Amino acid sequence: MTKNSFYLLLLISVLFTSCIPMKDLVYLQDKSSSSEQTNIAAVEAKPYRLQVNDVLSINIKAIDPKLVAIFNTTSNQNDQSVQSESALYFNGFTVDDHGNIRIPILGEMNVIGYTVEEVRLRIEKKLLEEYFKSEANLFVTVKLAGLRYTINGEVGSTGTKVIFKDNVTILEAIANSGDITTVGNRKEVSVIRQTPTGVQMHNIDLTDVNVMKSPYYYLQPNDYIYVKPLRQKTWGTGQTGIQSIGTIITLLSLATTVYLIIKN
């Protein structure tokens, strides 16, 4: 084998091993052999059951606002649309270590393991039984104060983030964080979740359309997402063919320069 043939073979080998294939970058691919339209029955988002440290936003309204003013926090008396994330945190109702929240006048109420709809019905029932008549036309709203999650690894923007939406998918959370970088491993995204029975960790493949069947497709409050890097990042040879060729040319130029210096 001539020297030129060796260099050509080396160049081709590096290109094939360093470039990131398109199939590693595309989300939700149908990996079955069928070319027909894919119909996926996505898993339904189960009603979330409250846990310790969750923050609730509770708003109580009636025909006469003065009747319910004492039950609401300062932030709830103002325009809900202008509340900031910090306002919801400080003025919301945090589930304490015993699973309770403290509501003005009503006192402590245990909410651990309940859904927000169940909490709403309990508050409404207690108000009607102890403080109001049905003529007051009470309207009680209970929501999670945003879905908070933490994301780290190969994404555009890491950190703890909040999305003000009831059901959030992992793809929405990643998009909200600037998407996965080119060197992020979409096939091994880790989700760490706190449950009443302990911490669970699961890896999911975002390049497979069947990820929508996973119970981790929909996020829960305080989920932690970690996107691992691809091996190409460690090698540092480039993410595309052009970058890889540039790296090889640089190395060959450096080797040639060193050789000429030593020879002379």
- Confidence (pLDDT) at 75: 46
- Confidence (pLDDT) at 45: 78
- Confidence (pLDDT) at 238: 54
**Quick one: 206 exposed, middle or buried, by C-beta within 10 A (0-12, 13-18, 19+)?**
buried
Q: Domain map of the chain by residue range?
A: 55-144, 146-233
Q: Chain-centre distance of CA 137, in angstroms?
A: 38
Are 18 and 237 in contact by the 8 Å Cβ rule? The answer is: yes
Closest by CA position to 239, among listed 7, 26, 25? 25
DSSP state of 166: S
- In tens digits, the chain (264 residues) has pLDDT values of 565 555 555 555 555 555 678 888 899 998 775 555 666 666 777 889 999 999 999 999 988 888 888 887 644 444 444 456 777 778 889 999 999 999 988 999 999 999 999 999 999 999 999 888 877 789 999 999 889 999 999 999 999 999 999 899 999 999 999 999 999 999 999 999 998 888 999 999 999 999 999 999 999 999 999 999 998 766 555 555 555 556 666 766 777 777 677 876
Are 223 and 147 in contact by the 8 Å Cβ rule? The answer is: no
The CATH homologous superfamily of the domain defined by 55-144: wza like domain (3.30.1950.10)
- Confidence (pLDDT) at 64: 84
Q: Tell me, which fold does domain 146-233 have in CATH? A: Outer membrane lipoprotein wza fold like (3.10.560)
pTM of structure: 0.76
